[in-house]
Structure 1
Amino acid sequence: MPLRRFDAPRWRRELGLARRLNLGGTDEQRESVAAIVRAVALRGDAALVEYSSRFDGWAPPPGESWAVSQAEMQLAAERLPADQLAALEFAAQRIRAFHAAQTYADVEGPDGLQLLTRPVRRAGLYAPGGRAAYPSTVLMAGIPARVAGVQHVALATPPNADGRVPDAILAAAVLAGVDSVYRLGGAQAIAALAYGSETVQAVDVIAGPGNIYVALAKREVFGTVGVDGVAGPTEILVIADGQADATLVAADLASQLEHDPLAWAVLLTDSAALADAVEEAFSELQVSLERADVVAAGRSAIVLTTSLEESVELANEFAPEHLQILAADPEPLLARVENAGAVFVGSLSPVSLGDYVIGTNHTLPTAGSARHSSPLGVYTFLKRTSVARLNEAQFRTLEGPARTLARLEGLTAHAHAIALRTEEE
């Protein structure tokens, strides 16, 4: 399937319609997830057995836990081929170094005011499973939680039909410092982490990507727990000038399309010649890819703009998960970027490297949420508490205006509580 071609006005019209129609699952999916979450909250392990047997084809026999033992986690790391373990260790080191730089100190304000930053006690992570294992996701979520100082880190991930978790997932859990691994997938896993059960302990924050049922479940439990975000299909926007290598652009677009038939891959360029070359290179590349059917099903496009500045403007409107800039002079374009989960500058910084080993987090805001959200990071597992400590002089300065405002709002008990301290009741 060739890349669809747009000019900027048509792209804006069709993008706006596509985003308005993105309602976050069908009515049936939302109702199904709500029922699963409610059942797990009310019936605990009995509901987990029911749904895990139905959707994952496995539930623990009586007397066996959902959790993988620490001994089995260590054995899995030892069984993993040496080159794979070394690659995970290398990625872990890069991810840890970047996230360790995300430091957050307490804030001292005026007049005895403070803002304290503290980690949550328990974090729940989710790593997708089923057709593929994603150990990189375990590292990307587990390491920031540990750097933040979370006391207990739990991971939920779908088991194979025999109840086993892939060795790569368990090895990554060891490297990330995960305390508990639960053989649970889907909406029921998110509900178990949020509400707990007889054998699963509830957490304070849930982080990590998953399919539409996981995303809807995170939306359903938000408020009971914190969540890092509600992830949609992956996205890549490439801004490129006429000097960009069309073969590299086509490869980068295809690399994200192979994730999901609903993925977005868009080239924004002011060069008609590059647009033609990328379209040809993309068509040639598709037929040779192992996941050619998934790539062909994705939402892919070329948008021809009047300038690279207009390309950045369109990118800010789209607010992509991944933004790649391939231009002879990228820095002025980068300075204009306002909305993107992560930006990759230059031909030697492909998104594919960022998915694994660059060190920046690959769990990113999607579906336009980069307008208001951030990548998963240490701050995902931190919360803030304000503190006020006033002396008599400070109290005297504040009490009069406070009593006036309390009476203005009709909250006379507030005014009374203040007045008692002034001996002017």
Structure 2
Amino acid sequence: MTEALRIGVAGLGTVGGSVLRILRDMAEMLNRQCGKELVVTAVSARDRSRDRGVDISAMQWFDDPIALAKSADIDVFVELIGGDDGPAKAAVEAALKAGHHVVTANKALLAKHGVTLAKIAEDKGVLLNFEAAVAGGIPVIKAMRESLTGNTVSRVYGIMNGTCNYILTRMWDEGISFEDCLKDAQRLGYAEADPTFDIEGNDTAHKLALLTSLAFGTQIAADDIYLEGISNISLADIHAADELGYRIKLLGVAQKTDTGIEQRVHPTMVPTSSVIAQVHGVTNAVAIETDLLGELLLSGPGAGGNATASAVLGDIADIAKSRPGFQHGPVFSTPAKALKPYKRARMRSHAGGYFIRLTVEDRTGVFAAIAKRMADNDISLESIVQRPPMDPAGDVSKTVILVTHETTEAAVKKAIDAILRDGHLVDKPQMIRIERAG
């Protein structure tokens, strides 16, 4: 067996602890598969005394992760610190500049600084692997960087946040409100004490930005994504979607159009019969549409210590199997210096339109006025349904549900704005995109 691969791990939380335990427990199998011994020689974390279920006494301890990243006693630096700047960024830069391979699970860091870090890695001839940064244990990065070579990608989309999918699944299955589902998710550890980053779509946006770069050879543009979370999804929306034959999912979607690249994260109605509609709970799924293969759907655990650690170990194994002196492929499929500037497309739905729910005053002429506003903006309606008030004796409002044919985002918003100005609405309007899904 050849010389051991020396690994330094910075960040010993849930994922870091899982990485150390799997390397310990599966050492014989991993060493055999990789053709060399995988040895964690050094670690860094905030608390040296914390019990992580793994003996780290034989490993060199670094209080400073940047010092670990620069150490001549490691070959691979594994960054599990988190954060888009600060120690994580400084340590990854230091490791790459020192000529060390880097493995990271940090989507926020890559979404903000990925192109710069890729340039350093490629200039130094080292690997920057980040499978664990998108969709947990699902090998979507490897598939896009390697397995789809020769394919032209037209669209990539998917469920990339387990917290949101868990909440929407419970709302549909059990008729529980968004607020109650969120509390349960926090209690079970699926959601953070401050869940904003997840439920407002930021986490999905970071992951989508990385997939967009891989799919279309563009510079990462995480700040140029249309973003809408799930906090405004009500049980009324869930029930209406069910009756119309749809499920509501938070999707990240990136696709090439005639005006550029469209990136968006928002609640979406997908046909109940589609495969992605059957992805429940904390599971993630990513679909990739290509010219040669058609649609490829990858699904599996999107978060958690073991799932994320599995992706980290896969990246380490790829490094262990690489040949010394071999010219590695580009970090984002296209060399970092050749990534094209991102050109934002005019956003529209290519999947059949929009679901619009309006709570209006129950009086003559409202229905006709709404239909006219849609027609004024060249919006063709597939269906329009009026629902009677829940309490006919006391309620003076009713619900109008519209399903449009394909149209532009701008047209729908312009029509809704006109309806608002007309003064017919008694509650905030709801608009959910309908997406074509496999």
TM-score by length of 2: 0.25
More helix by share: 1
Q: Larger relative CO (CA 8 A, sep 6+): 1 or 2?
A: 1
